[in-house]
Amino acid sequence: MIIVTGAAGFIGSVMVAKLNQEGHEDLLLVDDFSNPEKNKNLKNKTFKEKVDREVFFDWLDKNHADIDFIIHIGARTDTAEFDVAVFDKLNLNYTKQIWRKCAEYEIPLIYASSAATYGMGEFGYSDSHDIVEKLIPLNPYGESKNDFDKWALRQEDAPPFWAGFKFFNVYGPNEFHKGRMASVIFHAFHQINKTGKMNLFKSHQPEFEDGKQLRDFVYVKDVVDILYFFMENPNNSGLYNLGTGTARSFLDLTTSTFVAMGKEPDIEFIDTPIDIRDKYQYFTEADMKKVKENGYKKPFTTLEKGVEDYVKNYLMPNNYL
């Protein structure tokens, strides 16, 4: 049996779909299943059982002998939440408990870290273990992810295999429930539908033109392909970046959204709000060397192809994956 936590969420539900696609139906799904909007992500998925996250550890103690792998994606991901206690409970301590159980019961583990650990990129975007202690995340969410990464690297008792993936800017189907935390493409689609145009932040740094701020946007289907590859090839434990390795501009992303919607681009530039201006990232790009050195050879979906698939097959018809 394979366990997926955060299974009703964005990436978790797409992971469940990937496992089903690969023939895995003996799945245990873990989440807070009280949100009916999130639960729509599980429509047409095949699994054996659902367990609430609050009672999951009791379940695991009784059934650990049946578990082949845990993919822990569940987390509080709100970068605008500043209650550290929330992140301590749901991100840091919950993940420590999963780690300890996996070490005790010898269950391999994949878990979600985040590119938010890199802060402003002062030390670059290498997934080398050498820089983890130096990183300065910009918010409590990023701190909770980096605090766990630091803790994991110090542990002598570990799962037989473990990998923590630093997700960059993930977009794609099954994020209808995420509200303001949904991807830029999701918000662009709805803004264009409503107003016929898209607002982007002006650049307040002379080396970047307006709209030419760069991010590593990665399609969620590529994300779960990599997670599945590492589940099938559990060779080298450690931290890994999960982006495309190619930064693209917000202008590229927005233009691709207009094109996928069959509309002429109409883009206006507005001032970046003062309260976020000093923490606004102008560049992120995953160093993907370690993932490739571990044998993952599949090419990444281009931004244009990913946006086209997302807009035409999911956003426009209001479909779930």
| pLDDT at residue 79 in the model | 66
Assess whether 96 carries a catalytic annotation.
no
Contact 235, 187 (CB under 8 A): no
Catalytic residue among 50, 150, 178, 202: 178
Q: How far apart are the first and last CA of the chain?
A: 22
Answer for the pair 23, 2: CB distance below 8 angstroms, yes or no.
no
10-residue block means of pLDDT along the chain (321 residues)?
98 98 98 96 97 97 98 82 77 95 98 96 97 95 95 98 98 95 95 96 93 97 98 97 98 98 97 86 96 97 98 98 96
Catalytic residue status for 89: no
Catalytic residue among 94, 111, 125, 141: 141
Domains of the chain: 2-171+217-246+285-301 (3.40.50.720)
Looking at the DSSP bridge assignments, the partners of residue 50 are 29
In angstroms, the CA 181 to CA 193 distance is 19
